[in-house]
Chains A and B, each alone.
Chain A
Amino acid sequence: MISITRPVHLTYKNIVKTYGKGNHSKLILSDIELQIKGGECTLITGKNGSGKSTLLRIIGGLLRPNKATIETGLITLNWKKYRNLIKNDVMYLYQEPYMFDGTVRKNLSYALHKDQAKEAVDKALKWAELEHRSNTQAKFLSGGERQRVALAQAWLKQPAVLLLDEPTANMDTKSRKRTEDLLSTFKESGTALYIASHDPNHFHRITNHRLLLDEGRIVQTDTNLLNESAQNIKDKSDNNITVLSKQIS
């Protein structure tokens, strides 16, 4: 099985995407450039319709761009090669993850690799705090629970890159925090995270970089957010908490 070397470092250049053909075509992404690095979390923000989902689906190999160059550091890939390379390494999670007919356990078992033991499902259930739901019909779960099933599936697959489309859009603060905690374990294990969110303040505890998408371009880039905040805390130790939250919001 081909796979990409980990931790990943991928550079995407000149991503262009239009929808529709001929006179009706609409430019959604023009000349996007970005990097994906293992162990780092990037937040893509932008208003509704700015192309966040489109971008994530392209990176995830689910949507073909009009143009794109992808560099692994060693070689430059065309789209077809890229798709083949990432098949088992890049995982895209929908805002509302699709649950297959069957129990939660069944849904998790679909993510098992053929030489992965069945017990891994139990570990995944525990990891996502879904043990009490293991025999529930997955289609009847709440939005937050579905999201945790999807994260548990990702945990079983251990992708090099995890792409999340508005993972906490309909969640209350508590569920959102829980999701953040789960996501930070991915980061720690070296997975690269790319999260689309219309709210730039979500995930501030784990976000390293933040990109603002507008009119098909990245109009603002904030990098190394976590290091900067750490710096700020040291500098202004008296009221570090207010500083930290201001810095990020």
Chain B
Amino acid sequence: MESLATTTFDAIKLLLSGDPEIWTIIGISFQISTTAIVIAMVPAVLLGFVLAYYSFPGRRFLVAFFNTMLAVPAVVVGLTLYVILSRQGPLGDWKLLFTQTAMVLGQITLSFPILVAMSHAAFQSTELRAWDTAKTLSSSIAKAFFIIMREVRFPLLGALLAAYGRIIAEVGASMMLGGNILNYTRNIPTAIALETSKGDFAQGIALGIILVSMAFLLTMGLHVMQGKGTVVHD
């Protein structure tokens, strides 16, 4: 095995050279995870909101359920969906296994509980007084909801980032549901797993660099925005 320094150097060279295979993998990763988040986001945040401000039978159960779902390993989610989507499964006729759609479904299932649990926590972090005040000030529930959303925008963004971070770096479900097909369902984590097992560390490290830089940029971005939100300019 070459030294870590040489491999890292090769990895950077690979990225900078615009290697089409590696950039296709990166593109697929972002495309699938972004689709999943965009689809999961709206219902999950609404659910988190309802769980925080409305009481109804089964509310506690739902909160516990989504918090438990957080701890379910990605492979288990992958396995469950695999069984459902496989030819003999209930949705076998849809022929979705080993497609990007299957990966999107897997990532929606993985991100949904995170989004619900974290947006629930975000809404809970403001007092009930905030929601009552928003309702008092607004002539419609929609406007009150908008005011509250704005109030918790940073924790909500945090929820989105955490969910995105989980699904874009997750191997188990993507591997089982997508099948790691080059130029179609091979994304960053499944590529890293494959290349590393073949001994091609340079590509693995290149993809790793992309994941880490993305995490860094997103976290920094959130930090900067949060700073702007709280510093007074008088």
Contacts and interface: CB of A to CB of B under 8 A. Distances in A.
User: Is B truly associated with A?
Assistant: yes
A136 B229 CA distance: 13
Contact of B151 (A101, A113, A140): A101
A153 B126 CA distance: 20
Interface in A121-168: 135-137, 140, 153, 157
Interface stretch (A31-39, A43-51, A91-99, A206-214): A91-99
Nearest to B147: A110
A62 B233 CA distance: 35
Interface stretch (B18-26, B135-143, B180-188): B135-143
A100 B130 contact: yes
Interface residues of A, number: 23
Contact of B139 (A102, A114, A136, A153): A114
B139 A100 contact: no
Contacts of A157: 137
Given A1-B139, A110-B137, A157-B137, A94 B232 contact: no
Nearest to A157: B137
A100 B147 contact: yes
B232 A153 contact: no
B234 interface: yes
Interface string A75-115: 00000000000011001101001101110000000110110
Main SS at interface, chain B: helix
B150 A97 contact: no
A92 B232 contact: no
Contact of B127 (A1, A98, A113, A140): A98
A110 B138 contact: yes
Contacts of B129: 94, 98
Candidate in A62, A92, A101, A135 with the most chain B CB atoms within 10 angstroms:
A101
A128 B139 CA distance: 22
Main SS at interface, chain A: loop
B125 interface: no
B88 to A, nearest CB: 49
B151 A100 contact: yes
Contacts of A110: 134, 137-138, 147
B60 to A, nearest CB: 15
A94 B133 contact: yes
Contacts of A98: 127, 129-130, 132-133
A101 B232 contact: no
B229 A153 contact: no
Interface in B90-142: 127, 129-130, 132-134, 136-139
Contacts of B139: 1, 87-88, 113-114
Interface of B: 127, 129-130, 132-134, 136-139, 147, 150-151, 229, 232-234
